[in-house]
Structure 1
Amino acid sequence: MKIIIIGGVAAGTSAAAKARRNNENAQITLFDADSDVSYSGCGLPYFIGTEVEGREQLVPRDAAFFKQKYNVDVYTRHQVLEIQPQSKVLTVQNLVTQEIFQERYDKLVVATGAKSVVPAIEGGNKPNVFYLRNVINADRIREQVLTANPKSAVIVGSGFIGLEMAENLTARGIAVSVVEMAGHVMPALDQDMAVYVADHLLEKGVQVIVNDSVIRLEGEPSVSKVILKSGKEIDADFVIMAVGVRPNIELAQKSGIELGPTGAIKVNRKMQTNIDDIYACGDCAESYSLMTGKPLYRPLGSTANKMGRITGDQITGGDLEFRGILGTGIFKMFDMAVGQTGLTEKEAKKEGYEVVVCHNIKPDKPEYYHGSEMVIKAVADKNTGKVLGVQIVGRSGVDKRIDVFVTAITFGAKAEDLFHLDLAYAPPFSTTKDPVMYTGMILDNAIRRGRVLMTPAEVQEKIKNGEEVKIIDARVTKQYEKAHVEGAVNIPQENIRKALDSLDKEMVTVTYCNKGVTGNAAQNILINHGFKNVYNLSGGYKNYSKNSKK
């Protein structure tokens, strides 16, 4: 059997390795138009920064390695020009010699990856405008940073790559401005969590511009000024375009391979396309959501490796199948980690769920053992209690918690199940009630026990609309006098029982404290004394103040 794989990064090389493990007799050939294979694309920003010293750390394998270890023939700088499915023949060009030849296959794997979105911007082709997709791109940006002595850079886009580049260029002493077309940075997050990311960028000296876009890059022969739609001008010694990627599907499309609604190659759970003996995997192929069952395009190295392994197994007679993804992601930005999995609040509402939302602000471990605060936003289905999605920001412990949530959501956990998890505890690692468990308690209280939450956005909407609502600040007077929710009255928790007769049991009432715990205690007192419509402010005043700075 002759297996040909087009593409040699995460998915393609994983498919080759698994196919060889299953079948020692197959002839396996891999073509890639690039000079490098099997590299760590997610590590490229740190190579441009100060964390990775040499490119060999990110490109540890070459063609010789794959021949020696896996008996796989890898040809770099070879581009597949055409697929002829009926005759099972490929047309290939050697990009070094320009020779064109044909190759026959029995099984074909399309792993052509993704490519950077190139916006139509005047001046976008100037020599100091860069995209970061492969090692050669990183080499060029790094050379610019090390040899041109730049003082300023503009990053267009605030996704994973954009914000990782903001950190790494800042580490090089470069003044960074981030321009985002959407209403907030990191559009994959809900706005009430993205505000924590934006504030952290500002704390680190990064200029953040949202609700704006680049219309022109000025300067000759290189960019020296970035012109925004708003009319704002930003001086820049170079520009990083990080506005996203799209699947590299032109070759597949010309061959009659069907695309899905996301624009990526449509595959089934066996990674098969609509054409017999042609498979697709990695960033060129569609995934599907475990939450909705709908097609999902989320190009990540972790998913690409998984898809590649399944493909390699399938083409050699195995039974592995793709089970879908939650769209989990995590990235580091200076000393903040940002993790997300499942559905955001916005996505869940769009899918028709009646959602319950909580903001849990807790340290990752006890403060006496250097614990630092995390903000966990969890979204659950009010009708079933199932956890739908989680977003976390914090300085430490984020990776551990997001993976616990991922596992729980994957196996259909309800909010109440989170409290019952037997998680590891010792002061160097966690609090006695881990933040994951506490999140489950808050959600379960809201879903099943009548301790309903109100988000900062909902409170602000009521205030804006002039609705009749009693807002009770249950903190000590000193904290109230320093700052409080507009229109709130100060009744410290220990005084609430004494004030019951002065309060209207029928009026919508919102209680709050700093982070939510004392607010919940005040809420309990009122509910237990017959108050009908009592809400606790989700995340307390800390979360409210963060999200009311507009």
Structure 2
Amino acid sequence: MRLVIIGGSDAGIAGALRARELDPSCDVTVVLDDAYPNFSICGIPYYLSGEVVDWSKLAHRTLEELSSYGIAIRMNTRALAIDRSRHQLLCRTPDGGSQEISWDRLIIATGATPVIPTIEGLSAGLQTDRVFLVHTIADARALMSALSSVQVTRALIIGAGYIGLELAEALTTRGVTVAQFEAREHLLATIDPTLAGQLEAELAIKGVELVTGTRVSSLTANDDVTVTLSRDLSTNTTTTTGDIAIVVAGVQPETDLAVAAGARLGHAGAIWVNRRMETGIDGIFAAGDCVITHHQLLGESYLPLGTTAHKQGRIAGAAAVGKTDEEFRGVVGTQVVKVFDQVVARTGLTELEASTAGFEPFTITTNADDHKRYYPGARTINIRLTGDVSTHRLLGIDMLGPTSAAVHKRIDVAATALQSGTSIEELIDLDLAYTPPLGTPWDALQIAATEWLQLVSQRQESISREVALG
């Protein structure tokens, strides 16, 4: 059986490995349009900061390792069209020619492409050595070349999402002054504004000039980069200048090949797939940042994350070789990012998302120590917990705390509870580890859950009294 996979990043390689694991006789070919198979895009900021010295170390597996698994990698080969009736994939080869590759099963793992915001002059600026996207290893190497060869003292970052924040830290670590612009009122739209505000304060302490609620309306790149800024629809504008500009305004699913082949789209314009990663077209599967994400609390959504892509790719690889009893169980939206000395994480739903999804949400904001106060170095974790009033089901948690506070592992506990349908009471009853240097008898999560129950009880009593009084 011939399995062809379009895309050599997380989902594509996970699918190839799983297919070969289940069916060693399967002929697996991975087609990718660059020379960087199975690289960690998430590691790019740490290469740019200098913490990872050699970009090649960002590879999950080397080309030799992939070949040893029996996977044929065709690099610098661009997939141009999918012929469903003939089971052929038309490609442009490295020498500029064309070639057809035969397939019995096909996995589309084309990933996502950067969002290019509507900014006057941006398209032309991207053709210079002053304005950069950071989405691929090639992008990262181009930016690193500029950082190494040009005197860069001030960088402009357009976008304050997860990658934008990691880049702000990376460049600051290199000694570059950073000015960062975000169109929304707060950074990280996926977390609570209160916690976002605390993270904004951390950026200010570290010297990052963050400007929120402000759009970049134009960009000019010559010997330096000048951007024009405006707030909302105001005609009042200001300008600022840097040596380079980096555009990280999010991503969108890459679906052109799939759509041309007849695949239908779902949420956010991503390829629709079922839980076996089937597209509805016989013999064609899809996985990764190009497809919809099944969210356990929201249903169909779009969450382009490396962790999700690995899982989806694995399911697609299994289904492609006939193992159809494996299904993608879905996600609960777990994310974490380190920004200088702080870590912010979230899982589940915000109060607005929960209300829109038909729950009856109630949210509290509180804080707790990461370990016993009498042991030196105790720090505060800020927590926002959302639960359903009628069922007491845990719906979502946002957390912010110092890097020493194990926020990332506490959010993992919350994610596990969410995927298990745990109630607030059951969260309190979890048998979690405790020792004074690392925790408290009641973990920070359990302290927040206890407070939630108390406030919900008080709220219900207040409502009952109002009803009794007429």
TM class by shorter-chain length?
A: over 0.9
AA paired with 1:20?
R
Note the residue ranges of structure 1 that are not aligned, 5 or more in a row.
454-505, 509-529, 534-550
AA paired with 1:344?
T
Tell me the CA shift for residue 87 of structure 1.
1.4
Range that drifts further, 114-123 or 301-310:
114-123
The correspondence for 2:108, drawn from 107, 110, 116, is: 110
**Percent sequence identity over matched residues?**
34
Residue number in structure 2 paired with 1:73? 72
Structure 1 residues 323 and 228, CA, compared in 2 at 3 Å: closer, same or farther?
A: same
Tell me the CA shift for residue 103 of structure 1.
1.2
Residue number in structure 2 paired with 1:162? 164
The correspondence for 1:317, drawn from 303, 319, 322, is: 322
Asked if 1:3 corresponds to 2:3, the answer is yes
Asked if 1:327 corresponds to 2:333, the answer is yes
Residue number in structure 1 paired with 2:189? 187
Matches within 5 A, 1:496-511: none
Residue number in structure 1 paired with 2:202? 200
Tell me the CA shift for residue 135 of structure 1.
0.6
Tell me the CA shift for residue 432 of structure 1.
1.4
Aligned length: 454
Residues 60-92 of structure 1, C-alpha deviations (whole Å, 9 max, x = no match): 534332112x11110110011000111111101
Residue number in structure 2 paired with 1:87? 86
Tell me the CA shift for residue 150 of structure 1.
0.7
Contact 1:377–1:391, Cα closer than 8 Å, also in 2: yes
Residue number in structure 2 paired with 1:296? 301
The correspondence for 1:360, drawn from 333, 357, 366, is: 366
SS for the counterpart of 1:16 is helix
TM-score (ref. length: structure 2): 0.93
Residue number in structure 1 paired with 2:23? 23
Residues 149-171 of structure 1, C-alpha deviations (whole Å, 9 max, x = no match): 21111111111000000111111
The correspondence for 2:312, drawn from 276, 296, 307, is: 307
The correspondence for 2:434, drawn from 404, 422, 425, is: 425
Residues 395-444 of structure 1, C-alpha deviations (whole Å, 9 max, x = no match): 02201110000000111111111111110000122111110111111112
Residues 479-498 of structure 1, C-alpha deviations (whole Å, 9 max, x = no match): xxxxxxxxxxxxxxxxxxxx
Contact 1:81–1:90, Cα closer than 8 Å, also in 2: yes
Give the Cα separation in 2 of the matches to 1:74 and 1:176.
39
Residue number in structure 1 paired with 2:121? 123
Tell me the CA shift for residue 218 of structure 1.
2.3
Residues 472-517 of structure 1, C-alpha deviations (whole Å, 9 max, x = no match): xxxxxxxxxxxxxxxxxxxxxxxxxxxxxxxxxx9x9xxxxxxxxx
Give the Cα separation in 1 of the matches to 2:361 and 2:386.
6
Contact 1:340–1:402, Cα closer than 8 Å, also in 2: yes
The correspondence for 2:392, drawn from 385, 397, 406, is: 385
Matches within 5 A, 1:484-495: none
Give the Cα separation in 1 of the matches to 2:155 and 2:121.
16
Give the Cα separation in 1 of the matches to 2:268 and 2:276.
19
Give the Cα separation in 2 of the matches to 1:384 and 1:257.
39
Residue number in structure 2 paired with 1:43? 43
Give the Cα separation in 1 of the matches to 2:169 and 2:460.
39
Give the Cα separation in 2 of the matches to 1:261 and 1:245.
14
Note the residue ranges of structure 2 that are not aligned, 5 or more in a row.
232-236
The correspondence for 2:458, drawn from 412, 433, 450, is: 450
SS for the counterpart of 1:227 is strand
Give the Cα separation in 2 of the matches to 1:60 and 1:186.
27
Residue number in structure 2 paired with 1:33? 33
TM-score (ref. length: structure 1): 0.80
AA paired with 2:88?
V
**Which has more radius of gyration?**
1
